[in-house]
Structures are given as C-alpha cells and as structure tokens.
Amino acid sequence: MKFSYLKIGILITCFLLSATVRAQVKKVTGTVISDQDGKPLVGVTIELKGKKSGTQTNENGEFSIDASPGDVLVVSYTGYSQKDVKVGSSSTFTLVMKSDVGKLGEVVVVGYGTQSRKNVTTSIAKLDKEVLATAPRANIGSALQGTVSGLQVVNATGQPGANPVIILRGGASINNPGAPLVVIDGIIRSYSDIASEDVESIEILKDAASTAIYGARANNGVILITTKHGKSGKAQVSYKFTQGFNMRRSGYKYMDARDYIYYNRLGNLNSGRTYGQVNGSRGYGLLTDSANLSSFDIRFYNSTTASLLSQGWDTVGDPYGPSTNYLTGGKPDSSNISGIIIFKNHSKEIENLVFRNTQTQDHYINVTGGNDKGRYFSSFDFYKEPGVIVGSDYKRFSGVVNGSYKVRSNVEVSSGVTLSTSSQLGVLNGAEINTLYRSLAIWPTFNPWLDAAKTLPNPGNSATDGNPLYWLGKTDRSDENNKITVNGAVKWDILPNLYIRATANAYMNEVLDQSFTKATQTYSNIFATTPSFNTSRPATSTYSRDFQQQYNAIINYTKQFGGVHNVSAMLGTEYFGIKSFGMQVAGTKSPTDDIPTVNASTTFTSNTSTDPNNPNNNYSIVSQYRIISTFGRLSYDYDQRYLFTAVFREDGVSSLPTANRLGFFPGMSAGWNVHREKFFQNSGIYKVISTLKPRVSYGVNGNVSGLGRYDVQGVYGAQGLYNNNGAFLFTSLTTPNLRWEKSRTTDIGADIGILNNRITFIFDYYNRKTSDLLTNLSLPSYTGFNTVRTNLGTLQNKGYEFSANARVIDNPNGFRLNIGANASYVKNKILQLPYNGQPNNRQGGLQVFDPKSGQLIWVGGLQEGQSIGDIYAFKQVSIFKDASEIAKSAGNRVDLVAGISGPNSNYGTGKITPGDVNWLDVDKNDTIDNRDQVKIGNIYPKWTGGFNANFSYKNFSVYTRFEFALGHTIYNDLVARTLGNYQGTFNYIELQKQAWSPTNTNTDIPKVYYADQVAAPLGKKNYTRINNANANLNSNNSQFYEKGDYLACREITLSYDFDQSLLSKSKVLSQARLFASLDNMFYITKFSGPTPEPPVAPGTSTITGVYQGTYPTPRTIVLGVQVSF
Amino acid sequence: MKKKIILILSGLGLMLAINSCSKKLDLAPVSSISDANFWKTPDQVDAFVAGIHTAFRNNVGSFQYLGEMRADIFGTDPGSNSAFTGEATQGVEKLWTNTLDGNNAGVSNFGNFYFNINQINLLIKKLNTTNLVTPANKNYYLGIGYGMRAFYYFQLVRSWGNVIIQTDPVTRIDSFNLAKPASSADSVMTLIKSDIDNSVSSFGSDYSFRNQKGYWSKSATLMLKANVYLWTSYRGGGTADATVVLNALNDIQTNVSGLSLLPSYANVFASTSRGNSEIIFASRDLLNEASLPFANTFFPQTGLIANFYDSVNNRKFNVAIDNWGGLLRAPIKIATYREFSDLDSRKFVSIQPAYNKVAGVYQIAGAFANKYQGEQSAGLRVFTNDYPIYRYADLLLLKAEAEVILGQDPTNGINLVRARAYGANYNIAVQGYPNQAIDASPQEAILQERFLEFVFEGKRWYDLRRMDASGKYVFEYTNILSTDAYKLLWPIDRNTLTNNSALVQTPGYPKF
C-alpha cells in the first residue's frame, strides 16, 4: 500500500527543524490580573517572543522569567486578548489582561487541537455555556436544540434519557440517515449518560474543511464535546442540586362515554351495520356474557338496570332506536324496548393512569484543584427522572476522575476515568404509539378495575387494550447501560514550540437487559367459567458489549518567523478498533411466576432471524471493526491578516473491500482579517465594523457508517431449523466494488463584529455534494434480493446559516442585556440515483395528473432532480352538503378508490352520499383515482433556529431560550385514525362532533361511519383512501396534513447569585446561586397535536412525516441551588 | 542535531506504524459465513438444502393466497363489510372481491418466489460443479433443486402468465442495467417441463422420503409433473399430456409403498401425525420452529369468538380452548360451509361455523377455517400444522381427472376419496360416483370433490383455472365476469414494475 501523504509528512518534519538559543540577562517578575475583577490569573502563559523559553503564572498570578532588555513578553490566556510587553529597564510588572468577551474572541476546539476564533477559517459553531448552566438534562443532546445554526435537533420522543435526532445541514444521505460523529475528549462514543455539568464546551464542526480531520466518519458533521478538567488554583468543591417538576403536555380530548356510545353507534348505523353487529361490538355494544358485563359498564336501560342510576350511571338514547325495530329470532328483543342505553363514564381513567406528573432529581458535586505541576478534577452525578408516561423511567449515576502531572518540566502525564451506569426503560411494549393512541382512545365504558377498591387492574383484551397497570405488574423489566472510559496521555515538550502527545483510550459500553412476563390473562380469560392463563412466561436476558480502543500520537509544531509568519503544523496517526459481543438467552414456559430469570424457563428456541446482524431468540454474536488513520494540519497566517489552514486525513477501514479500503480526505480554508489591515483601521468604517473576516473553505470527507462490518463479503446466514435440521442460505450479496461516500463542501462565510464587537455576526453559505452515496438500489424481483448497496447516489444540500449576538446593554454593575439568535435554511436535491432504467431513475413514487402540462407525471418517491420528502394526497374540496349538491357536481362521478359512485353511475357497490368528501377531480374525468392527487408539502423543515436573551441586573439574571422550525408538513395519522374509526370500537376525539349530519351540513368533517377503510358499500374511504388504514405518508385525505411550523419556548430561567460580601461572612462558601427555570413550557404552532416536531420513526433517526402519537416532551418547572466551597 | 534525528524518526515512526498495521484491516466475519468461506464442506451443502426448505416454508402464505383466496371460499356475508366477529377485513377483501390493482396487488413481488429460485439456482450450480457430497446425496439434492424450481415457475406462470426466467444464480451485481423482460408463458412452461425431467432423472430410482416427507422427493416431482401436464392437456396437450399424467401417478403408486388415505380425514392435518401415510410432501412446521404464516388472518380473536356458539357440539366457545388468537381478516362464507353435506366428515374438520343463540335458537353468524388447529402450548394456540403440498387424495383425484380426459372410468379414485370422507355414512348408492347429481358432469364432479377435499390447501383457484383455458369455471364459480377475463391473471404491484423497467403490467389492469 502506498500512502500519498508520505511526502507531505517528510516536508512537515523537515519544516520543524529550526531553533536557536541565545543567552539571557536578568530575572523579570510580575503579577497578571484580570481587567474584569482585578483578581490574579492562574496559569497564564508567558513566553519570550522568538525564543524558546516560557513560564506560567502560579496560583497567586505571579511569574518569573529570565529575559534581556528588548525582549518581548508574549502573555496569553484563554478568554483574554494576547498581550505583548516589551522588557525595558523595569524588572517587575503588573500586567492587566483584557478579557476577550464575545463570540469572536472565544477559543474553539477543532479536533486534535484548539484555535482562537480569530484565526478560524472554517465553519465551526460553539454552544453557549448558558445553555448547559441550569436545566437538569437527562440527555445533553437536547441542549443543541435551537442553539447552533445548521443543526436540526428533533425530540423524537419525550422519553427521559432518549437521544434526540440530530441532523447537520439537512443530512448527507438519501436513504441512510447518518448522525454526526460524536467525539468526547478524543473518544468516539455516545453522548448519552453524560452529566451536563461535566461539559466544558461543545463545538460542532460543520464544513468539510473542518471535519476532514476526522475523515471517513465525518460526513454528517462532528460534535466535539470537551469535559471539565482540573484547573490550577485553590481546591474548590461545588455542589448543585436541581429538582424538576414534570408535567404532561395536554393532548387530544377524547369523548366521554355518552358521546362515545352515541357517535360510535351512529357510525355503525350510518355504515349499515345490523343491530346484532353493533351490539356484538366491544365498548359500545351490549354483549351479555359475564366477561363483558364485568368489564364494560354499558347495559340496556330497563326495569332491572334502572337502579344503576343511583350508582353514578347515566343514560343515552340509542341512535338505533328501540329494539322493537329489529326483530331477532322473529320477535322483538324485549330487553331494550326503551331504546335507551345506560352506562357509566370511565373516560380519562386510563389516561390518568398512563400519564402522571413526576419529579426529576439531580445531585451533582465536583472537586477541582491543582498547582503549576499537577491538576485534578473529580465529579459525581446522580440523576433520576421518572417519565410522565408510567413505566418509562430513567436513572443515571456517573462519575469522573481526571488529573495531570508534570513529571518533568517538559513532560506532562494525564489520565482520566469516567463511569456511568444508567437505566432507561421506555414505555411498556416499546411502541409509544400504543400508549399515545390505543391507551388514550380506549373504550370509555371500560372499567379499568376489577374491584371497587381499585386494587386489581383489569387486563382488558391485551397489553395495549387494557389497564396498563396490570401489564406493568406482570412484567419484570430491568435495564442497565454501563459506560466506562479510561484514557492516558503523555505530552512531551521537546522544544518550546514542539511537542509530541501520545494518547491511549478505551471505551467500554455494555448493556444488560432483562425482562420476564408472568402468566397473564385477558378479561375474557378471567371471567370464563374455567379461568385460563397464558403461561408462556417469556424470559429474556440480553447482554451486549462494545469494547473500543483508540491509540493516537500527534506531533505539533508552532513557530513564528520574522514576527509576522505564524506557522503551526500537526501530524498524527491513530488506530481505532472496536470489538463487539452480544448474547441473549430467551426461554419460555417457566413453571412459576416467582423466578424472573431464564434459568426457570424450560423451552429455548433457536435463532430464526435471517439477518445475521440482528439475531433473535437465543444467540451469541461477535464482530470487529477497525480504522487506521494518518492525519495532519498546517496553519499559516501572515500577521494574523491572511489566514490559511489545510488538513488531511487518510483512513483505512476494515469494512470496505481490500482494494477500496483507503480514503484520502483533504480540506483547505482561507480567511482574511480585514480589520487588521492598516487601510481598514484608518478608514472611518473601523469605528463601526471592528471585525471583518471573510473566509472560504473547501474539503472532502467521507462516510461508511451505513455499511455493516462484513457486508461487502457477502453473507451466508443461518435460517433457523427445518425439521430439526440447521439451515443456511445466501442472504446478502457480495459487493466487492463498494467504496467511500464522499462529501465535497464549499463554504463561504464571514465573521463580522460591530461596535468593538458588541454585535457579532457569523454567516455561512454552503454547498455540499455527497457523491458515491452508499445507497440502496431496489433490485428487480428476478435477482432474488430486495436491495443491493451501491455507490450510485449523489445528493446536494445547499443552505445558509446565520448567527448573531449582541451585547445590547452592557453596564458592568447595572443592567445587562445580551441577545443571540441563529437561523439556518437548507434545501436538498437528489442529483443522482442508481440506474434502474426509469426516467430520473425513480424509486417508488406515484403517477399523478399534472394540470399544467395535461400529462401524467411521476412524483414523490426518490427521483433525480427532485427534493426528498414531498407529500402527495387526495384533496378534499368540501363535504357534500346534500343530495342536490352531489347531483350537481358529482352526478357522474366514479370513485375508484372507495368503489362508490354518483347517482348517475352504476359503478361500484356503494353510492356517494351527503356527508362524504367531495374530492378534487384533478383531471376532470369524473373519475377519482390515483391520478387525482396533489402536492401537499414536504416533511422536512426548511428553516430551523433559535434565539435567546440574557438580562441581568445586579445579582439577578433572567435567561430565555426559544427554538423554531418552519416549513414542514405533518400527516396526522392519529387524528385520521380516530375520526376514521379504523380500529372499529375505540373512542373518537371531540372533533368528531363537528361531523356532517343532516342538521350540520356546513363542515369539513365527513359523516360518522364505522371503520372508514372497509370495503364499499359500507366504508367510504373518506380518510385512509388507498392505504387500508396503514399509516402511510402519501395518498390520504388532504385535510389531515397539518403545517408543523412552531416556535418552542425551551427555557426561561431566573437566577440569583449571592453577594460576595455576604458569602465571605460565611467563611466557607465562595459562591452560591439559586435558580428557578421553566423548561419546554409551550409551543406556538397551528399543529393540533401536543408536539409539532417532525415525527421520527421510533428507534431510528428517519423523519417520516407521519404523526401517530409521539411521547410528548414534558413541561418542567425546575428549582435549584448551586454552592461552591 | 540529536533533536533533528528524534524529529525525523518520530515523523517516520508515525508512517511506519500504519504500514505495519494495515494487515489488521483484513477481518473475516465470525458469526456468519462470508461468500468466500461457503461451499467448502458437505455439512454446508446439507444445511443449504435445509435452507431452501425453510425458504419454501416462508412462501406458504403466498401459495395459499395465490391458490384460493380469489376463488369462491372466502368473503364476508351479504350486508356486512367485516367478519362476523366485527374484525375489519383490512384490504384482504380485495382478493375475494377481485378488485386487485397495482396499488393493492394481493401478492406483491411475485410472492418473493425469486429469492428461493435464486438459492435453488445456486444449489444446482454448486452441485454440478463440486463433489462435496456423496453421489447419492448429490443426485437427491439435484432432484430437489430442479423439482422445486419447476414448482415455483409453475406457480408463477399460472398467476402472472409471462414471467422472467432466471436459472443462473445471482451472487453479485456488477452492472446496474438490470431491466429484464418477462419470457412468454410458453417458454416458462418449457423450462418447467425440462426441470421436471431433470429432477426425475436426478432422483433416478431413489423414491425414498426424507425428513418425514418434509423434504421434496421424487414423488413430489411426479405429483408436480402430473399437475403440469394436466394443465397443458387442457391447453392443447390433449390426451398425450393426460397420458403423461397417468404414467407419472402410476409411477408413484407402483414404486412408493405405504401411501394410502388415512381413515380419519382430521388426522391428515393434525400436528400429531406429521408425514402420515397420506402425505407425499408437506411444508414442515414444528413447534418452536415455525407456524402457519396465514394463521393470524384466518382465525378469530379469542375474546370475540367467545361470544358465539358452536351449534354442533351445543356449547358456547370459551377462551381456554378456543384461543385462536388471531384477527379474522378472511372469514369463510356461510355459503361455503353449506356446500358440504352434514354427512361429510370434511365439513366440520374444514370449517368451524359460529352461531348466535337468540331466545334458545341457534342462528348462524359466520364461519372460519378449522383445518389447521395447531396445538396448545402454555395457554396459547400455536399453528404448527404442516402445510400439505401433495397428498394421496390429490393423486387419486388428479388421476381421475386424467382418466376423464382419456375417456377412462374415474370411479375408483373419486369413490375412494368419498368413501373416506363420508366414513360410516357412506352409501355408495347415494354418495358414490356417479350417483350424485353433480356426477352428470365428471369434470364438475371432480371440481367439486377437489373443492371439498382440499379447501385451505391452496388449490381451488388453480383447479378452476386449469379445467378450462378460457376461464369458464372461474366465471361460473367466482364473482369475476367473463367480460373481465384479464382478471384470470394477477396484477403486478407498482414497486415491482418500478424496480424493473422492462416489465409491463398484466394486460387489462390499470397502468397508473
């Protein structure tokens, strides 16, 4: 193998070789203090310009260095402007460092190093510290919501501890959404289970010139998280306690039992269901067996049941009228002569069992300290958040210890360990829609309790159609996720300008899940003459472990030549390896409820999964993955005016075929600090524009994350058993020609500061073309495989990003107001898809009539030249008011979808009747079919962003943070599903009361029917259209596609810092702060559901656009206190 | 100078570190087998043959849908759009209402049959190019491969007419120009017949059954041969093809001992009598291995069926033993149930009627399939019945049908089947051929007998199709009108058309 960087490496190595030494004359001493509060600064670097000697201030801010007159002391400290001081005759100095507040002076982590924002020429965002300061966070990913331009962060679920979906610049993939690479203190790992207080900074590398340093994994951006490390100075102990009060976000209102019975029976009547059929239905029917009588509080009203009125029951007239209308067995049913039904209202009882208000607790303590030789940091966090949906609890313990020590004056050794153990259970049965739809829409006549004292929950018909407390009680679940990182590093300053740093780290992530279901019953089992049980008692224990090792070494050289040429070069190499092990034992038919572990099981089934990566039943599985890399960075600037940076990375990865294994990813960027030019400073404009840095970057990076570890080699996978014979088949094609995905990004931006940087703007335009996308090609049937992975996709994302910050009022001891805002716009376009012989190489999609051209056109699906995520559906023009309107506008209409027709047509088995939807006949051919669909919107937000404001006055401060997303459309399957009565017996939401009726003809809600999806003549398909009640995005009724645009109030925090004078009296406390915060208080949106965020397929990061009920993020009130000793 | 050397060495060291590591990137899978490591041992070949039977088993749902869901068995009863238990048919009704189109094609992607066809193609190729297994096994496995491939193509050609022929294994995709047109139905039929000949000659004189008749066998190939030639005899093959049918079936009867009708019709399907003497080939469903894929669609919800009565046994259904645990999407028409004579043991074995009891009087509410009762396991009913593909009654009735074509007397076969069905009630003068009214037309008699005998075994639609190329029996027995003759074939789902631009929609179905 040949490595193309070899030459570069040697050049850089040679470049480093020049260092001269001169004699010294006298000792110079001094103190460095801050301009902010006049306090000494510890650890300030003092170097002699152009020489190798240097020192740092001690814990009193004092330093001492040998220097000759005429030498220049270069004094630098993070967060402060660099200061150059000429050594004259004086030998003691008091140096006041000017704080470099504001966005344009911050230090940013850039991957294997740091840079000052002043020199940054790529697109890197840094998270405001304020965001992490207050609210307790089960997952730090939520801090990124609305705070970083270019990042779209979606709460896929409000389940505590869950990772949000993070998409950078619209994502770089057509059908394998990728998440940004997360690097925490150099370790590639998950960001879940990290205490937010442990985080020092979060940076997001966005353009390819900045992410190229992470090469093959950086296609979707890089999130760099730096945690807190020891600081020299007096030892300090901090403790923070926060208590959150979580409240459910209110959702749809379901009908009470009276309306439920009335509208469901009316729907049955409208659909022509017989008296027997309606009464044979659960919930609103009048079944007379013991199970139903015991579980459903609904009866005929007659002399026997009338007494129930005194026990809180109520009556409602039956739309079917008296049973005398319906002869059963040749005679009227005497039980319901009255035509009245008596019932008890159990509405909201299940809802109130499912949802609860909970309390979050977070205790955090840390200790830090050190001197000029050694530093240490240690922290411990306990976090507990019971979910607002019963059963979905999250708990975490985490601990950090790290330290560093200078074993020689030029050798520093550091090491650290982090540990976390967490438990995240999720809702029962895993599927949140079961809770958000089935549990809430459950029959309001169902009594969730078997006994009057409400101690015995009624299981209902199944885990999703009953009292969830029964099923929670029958399920014994535990979950444990342990994450351990260990790292050690040696930094050797060979010369003042040159160091080598070698790092080794290991990360172990293990998950242990156990679950056991006791013998269960349904309500019909319980009330049967001989009660029976389901005694399969499945027990499962699953263990998985990823053990990851990373070793890297970098050599770094920084040098100034001739006072104006600043050069910094870094070269490194890295080994990354991960070994995974997973196993499961799963048994059934334990003889007892008393042993939850698998040892009591008696039946064990072999793996029958045909996917070797996702075995089922009993298995153990191992796999490995490695990447070996070389990388480097060269930065040059001329007098901090002309800036240039080049980076590269070469990765070799084990999951690619040998011939295509190496990928080379370069990045280049350049910038111009115009404000440092004399001509600019001399012009009047400098008084207004204090910083102006246009910059441009170009780079290439890659991705292979969509590729399984051994996919390219082809798979012969186990197929379970056939008559006790083990079976194998060829299940995955060999793909020996696959190679890297490559993203090429051009980024043009500018950093602008106005009025001495009181107002700052950062702007970026980018154009990213991802080619060789690892894209699935759907194969023709005859090949015997559904899809093959190809490199044939190209996707373009273009967009703009803005962020602005302003210190509007800045009165050091009085009123201060800072405002920040960011916004980003993104547009996707598919440029290339794998060839399949179709126009635009279309995959999927629909054929609709295009009124402009008068032709049939293919829309939706994936097509070259089109964007992703467009929605098409049948347009509801109106609801037919009456027969005359139908005769007038749809007399000859044939609705091929529903199988019904207008009065003048003989087609189909049913008729269009008043209260049905008047569909838009796009091609005006009197036939409603697939072709009559129109574009409704797109599932992806176009604009995302947020803004914040920070007011402070004396010891009080208020911080507010808002987030928004605009331009996405959501298909509200939940509303369509309930109104359309797809399930047949469940409750309606209140909206159903607006349905068409002979007395309410002016409405946009169709007439009430039983089960919209069933065949004509009884079903009308007013809701689901061609989808048979499946939750598909396209081809439903346009009425139920809603704009998702929202503005969310993420945080409002009020805090009070105790006076220093007061604290000093305590002689113990050095800092104390009280705060109260309102988190996720409200969304301003037109979307009718509780959460307008783009719906995500559960357990994935794929935005589906179909809302089926999402676990709503709770509203939280937080109280907290933070003290330091 | 020393420092310079350190620098250069450390710089170069970084480079070398990688070169020495690059071999570390060659990783082979441990928990699966890569393409490079298969076809090395006899065990692997044995496991692969078991594999094509698991894949065959995975297709049983499609065999069932293609074989009878569009015929005259299933349906909601007039005036109802849901099953009698209240469960919605959820689109399945498009099969029996014969309203399929590209949106709802009933069976999509050609039943996923090409997955197994490709595996079989690979098996045949590897068997022909390696000598990993003993000659006896090699021949047996080739017999299975050719026979089963012919079975798949026979399903395809009868359902879609012109279909793509693929006989080479696809193991990698090198060109993305993958559009491939369908071959004519005639050439597919030629392939089927040549595969059958290859299968027969590969098996040679090996008439043995393996895996309790859970594996394809020479008898299975001969049954297929009889089916295929019977099909073509109505389509120009005439008596010559019917003779081939007779010979094939006689071949089985002559060379395979122990095949007979079981005295009890119910036992043929019971999970406790797998591979019984009546079975020739069945797809095996052992407990904890597999279960019938269509069970959920065919059987009612436990809690709902418990509201109904079984009039025959004069009892109310109860959740302990009538724990069907499904979601009845495909109810049986009451009319189907009533086709059976009460004296016919097949009636109650095949179909379970459900009644309401109103004022002490039973009123029929609906019916559902009863043939596959599965077994009880820990309070749950698991549908572990084998799915019969070929059995001895089929042999007898195919033979009778060939005899009719050849002008011979079909009485023996028909009456053997009827005698077993009626058991003690059998009176040859009443139920025996040719004494039933329907026996006036031997074809109608056989058609009806096959209907009663094989309901839920995926044969009815093909029977109606087979006996008249123009669709006469389809129009006679189903709701398809003779003006909609295009419905004799199935539509192709839209995705399948998209994925292969050389395919065209079955003529007659809308193209958009």
A572 touches chain B (CB under 8 A): yes
What global pTM score does this model have? 0.89
A530 and chain B: CB distance < 8 Å anywhere? yes
Nearest to B24 among A626, A727, A777 (CB): A626
Share of chain B above pLDDT 90, in %: 80
Whether residue B123 is predicted with pLDDT greater than 50 in this model: the reply is yes
Look up residue A587 and give its amino acid.
Answer: G
Whether the CB of B179 is below 8 Å from some CB of chain A: the reply is yes
Looking at the complex, does the CB of residue A539 fall below 8 Å from at least one CB of chain B?
no
Helix (H, G, I), strand (E, B) or coil at A213: helix
| B5 has a pLDDT exceeding 70 | no
DSSP states along A637-701: EETTTEEEEEEEEEEEETTS-GGG-EEEEEEEEEEE-GGGSHHHHHSGGGGTEEEEEEEEEEEEE
Distance, CA of A289 to CA of A199 (rounded, Å): 61
Alpha helices in A973-1089 (DSSP H): 973-979, 1060-1066
Q: Which of A729, A841, A930, A1027 best probes binding to B when mutated, by most B CB atoms within 10 angstroms?
A: A729
Which residues 2-61 of chain B have a CB within 8 Å of chain A?
Answer: 3-4, 6-8, 10-12, 14-15, 17-19, 21-22, 24-38, 44, 46-48, 50-55, 57
- Cβ A494–B356 below 8 Å, yes or no? no
pLDDT of residue B271: 94
Q: What is the dihedral of CA A799, A802, A803, A804, to 10 degrees?
A: 180
CA torsion A459-A464-A470-A475 (nearest 10°) is 130
ipTM of the prediction: 0.94
Q: Which residues of A touch B38 (CB under 8 A)?
A: 716, 728, 730
Q: How does pLDDT run across B387-439, given as a tens digit for each residue? A: 999 999 999 999 999 999 999 999 999 999 999 999 999 999 999 999 999 99
Of all residues in chain A, the one with the smallest CA distance to B503 is A780
Q: How far is A784 from chain B (nearest CA, A)?
A: 4
Radius of gyration of chain A from its Cα atoms, rounded to whole angstroms: 34
Taking only residues 355 to 394 of chain B, the set having a beta carbon closer than 8 angstroms to any beta carbon of chain A reads 356, 358-359, 361, 363, 365, 377-380
CB atoms A723 and B214 under 8 Å:
yes
Closest approach of A865 to chain B, Cα-based (Å): 18
For chain A, residues with pLDDT lower than 70 are 1-25, 35-38, 52, 78-79, 99-104, 175-177, 324-337, 430
Contact between chains at A277 and B86 (C-beta distance less than 8 A): yes
**Would you list the DSSP string of A104-141?**
GG-EEE-SSSEEEGGG--S-EEE--HHHHHSS--SBGG
Contacts of residue B331 in chain A, CB cutoff 8 Å? none
Enumerate residues 6+ apart whose C-beta is below 8 A from B206: B136, B139, B140, B143, B218
Q: What is the pLDDT of residue B3?
A: 58
Please name the residues in contact with A303: beta carbons below 8 A apart, sequence gap of 6 or more.
Answer: none
Max intra-chain CA distance, chain B: 118
Residues of A in contact with B214 (CB under 8 A): 722-723
Q: Do A784 and B31 touch (CB under 8 A)?
A: no
Tokens describing residue A194? 């990290």
Chain Cα centroid distance, residue A83: 43
Q: Which DSSP helix (H) or strand (E) runs through B364?
A: strand B361-369
- Give me the pLDDT at residue A6, please: 43
Residue numbers of A between 679 and 698 with CB closer than 8 Å to B: none
Residues of B within 8 A of A784 (CB-CB) are 114-119, 121, 166, 170
Kindly determine whether residue B12 and residue A13, on different chains, have CB atoms separated by under 8 Å. Answer: yes
Give the pLDDT band of residue B17 (cuts 50, 70, 90). low
Q: Check A535 against B115: CB less than 8 A apart.
A: no
Question: What residue of A is the nearest CA neighbor of B120?
Answer: A729
Q: Report how far residue A343's alpha carbon sits from residue A444's, in angstroms, rounded to the nearest whole number.
A: 10
* Residue A335 touches chain B, beta carbons under 8 Å: no
Residue B317 CA to residue B332 CA, distance in Å, equals: 18
B117 touches chain A (CB under 8 A): yes
pLDDT of the residue at B350:
96
Give me the pLDDT at residue A517, please: 95
Which residues from B are below 8 Å from A336, CB to CB? none
pLDDT > 50? residue B215: yes
What is the separation, in whole angstroms, between the first and last Cα of chain A?
Answer: 58
Q: Amino acid identity of A810?
A: D
Question: Nearest-CA distance from A386 to chain B in Å?
Answer: 34
Q: What is the pLDDT of residues B47-94, one digit of tens each?
A: 999 999 999 999 999 999 999 999 999 998 876 777 888 888 888 999
> Residue B255: which residues within 8 A CB-CB, separation 6 or more?
B207
Provide the pLDDT confidence category of residue B259 given band limits of 50, 70 and 90. very high
Within a 10 A sphere around the Cβ of A12, how many other Cβ atoms?
20
What tokens appear for A475 in the block? 């399920």
If one counts every other C-beta atom within 10 angstroms of the C-beta of residue A303, the result is 7
Nearest CA in chain B to A291: B303
Q: Do B27 and A709 touch (CB under 8 A)?
A: yes
Min Cα–Cα distance to chain A from B206, Å: 21
Q: What is the three-class DSSP state of A620?
A: strand
In angstroms, rounded to a whole number, what is the distance separating the alpha carbons of residues A1008 and A1023?
Answer: 11
Q: Confirm or reject contact between A536 and chain B (CB < 8 A).
A: yes
Q: Is B286 on the interface with A (CB under 8 A)?
A: yes
Scanning A384-443 for CB atoms below 8 A from B yields: none
Identity of residue A1089 = G
Spatial separation of the C-alpha atoms in residues A801 and A1063, rounded to whole Å: 44
The angle formed by the CA atoms of residues A199, A200 and A202, to the nearest 5 degrees, is 80
Strands A933-938 and A870-874: antiparallel
Which of A1117, A1065, A1113, A904 minimizes the C-alpha distance to A392? Answer: A1113
Q: How far apart are CA A565 and CA A558, in angstroms?
A: 11
Interchain contact A782–B (C-beta under 8 A): yes
> Could you say which residues from 597 to 636 on chain A have a Cβ atom under 8 Å away from some Cβ of chain B?
603, 605-606, 608, 612, 620-626, 628-630
CB B447 within 8 A of CB B464: yes
| Contact pairs from chain A to chain B, CB under 8 Å | 382
